[in-house]
Amino acid sequence: MRCGVCGRDELLPFKCAYCGEFFCAEHRIPEKHSCPGVFAAKSPEEIKRREARDETGWGYAVAPPHVARARERVFSADELGHLAAGAALVMLAGFALSRGVIFSPAITAFMLIGFAASFIAHELAHKFVALRRGLSARFKIYAFGAALTAITSLIVFIGLPFFIIIAPGAVVIWGAATHRHMGKVALAGPLTNIAIAIALIPLQPLLPQFPLRALAHINAFLAFFNLIPIGPLDGQKIMSWNTTIWVAAFVASLALFFAVRMVF
């Protein structure tokens, strides 16, 4: 397994107790890999002091040289491969959802590409907001999430009563980040899907209705689902930062989900 910092292959890597990533002996200490989870090990007083310093930007950790170089490239070859795999899995889920619906190959391609583009736009929104905050970020496929996406898609495709879980991967963040940082990074994804769903509404008279309705629904659903405040979803991070903003975003996504059903 490769070290999350230097990329060195390690037979027995160290797993960080805070961020869950794997590292070599040199970078196993949280401070050595700018661990975002080390924030949880601080006392409440230290957390308040760090958030107070957030306005001046003082609270950032200096990224190691290899991280800075990776940030300059924006996308590494590995990350592009992970994004392509994530897009393929989302297209598989979209194909399974369209099972039994007959339409032309062009409309099918439009819908599946739209599904993948919506997912990638959500993840890239997280990435670029994190980069603007001075953090390091890259999209990463997770074996369990990828398998869950593929298996549930196949179950639905063969006609069994089940629901598809679309969670092939996520954007991993490195750097010293406060609740405000992580909240804004988390909010960027659902807001992107909300914006896409709203932008599709005026296009209704110009393009075939079915793929537009499907894309608007999937974007509204992605926003709503990711704003649920449980586990690793975006809603939990946003609520930890600002409950009022979470409530506003959640209500907006829910209202949009039902509004799309009425418009199309």
Write down the residue that tokens 């996504």 correspond to: 253
* DSSP-assigned letter for residue 9: B
Is 79 among the residues known to form the active site? no
Q: Which of 37, 42, 30, 40 is nearest to 5 (CA)?
A: 30
Q: Which of 34, 47, 141, 14 is nearest to 89 (CA)?
A: 141
Q: Which of 86, 90, 230, 237 is nearest to 169 (CA)?
A: 86
Secondary structure (DSSP) of 153-200: HHHHHTT-S------SEEEEEES---HHHHHHHHHHHHHHHHHHHHHH
* DSSP-assigned letter for residue 103: -
What residues contact residue 25 under an 8 Å CB cut-off, 6+ apart? 14
CA distance 246 to 248: 5
Active site residues: 123
